[in-house]
Amino acid sequence: MKEGQNNYNQTVSGENNQVAGRDIIIQTNLEPDDKPSPDNPNLIRCPACHRFGVFRGAELCPYCNYSFLEARRAEQEKAKLKAHQRMSVLSLLAVVVFSIAVTIADKFGVGLLKGLGWAILVVFVLYFAGLWCWAWLNAWLKCR
């Protein structure tokens, strides 16, 4: 290349004499009038703009720029949080049941195993009593 020669004069030796970058732009530029085949299993509907023809696994909707990547990340975050909450509730429940079991075993002089059985029964009864109270409270609030 001679000095001073600019980029516009250079010859392009790629396939079809096109620069790779331009090829990519042409391929990703979906015309809104393009009617994608509805029986293509790799095409899905965008949940944001409800337009059909988004590639399964695409990161962005070509019509409205809805971010599937962001949505997937949020979904994963939500699932992780839910699992964490379930673990917290279960471990709290285990601690409560065990404390009641120890108390019962101590107070009534029964073995720890029997105390554990009673503790589970007590927690179940309290749980259903709580559910019943909650339902009753809701009904009462609606009646007012």
Residues that bind Zn ion (CB under 5 A): 46, 48-49, 61, 63-64, 66
Q: Least Å distance between CB 67 and Zn ion?
A: 10
**Between β-strands 43-45 and 52-55, what pairing exists: parallel, antiparallel or unpaired?**
antiparallel
Nearer to Zn ion, 61 or 119 (CB): 61
Nearer to Zn ion, 61 or 100 (CB): 61
Nearer to Zn ion, 12 or 49 (CB): 49
Q: Least Å distance between CB 126 and Zn ion?
A: 49
Nearer to Zn ion, 67 or 103 (CB): 67
Q: Least Å distance between CB 64 and Zn ion?
A: 3
Q: Least Å distance between CB 24 and Zn ion?
A: 20
44 contacts 68 by C-beta, under 8 angstroms: no
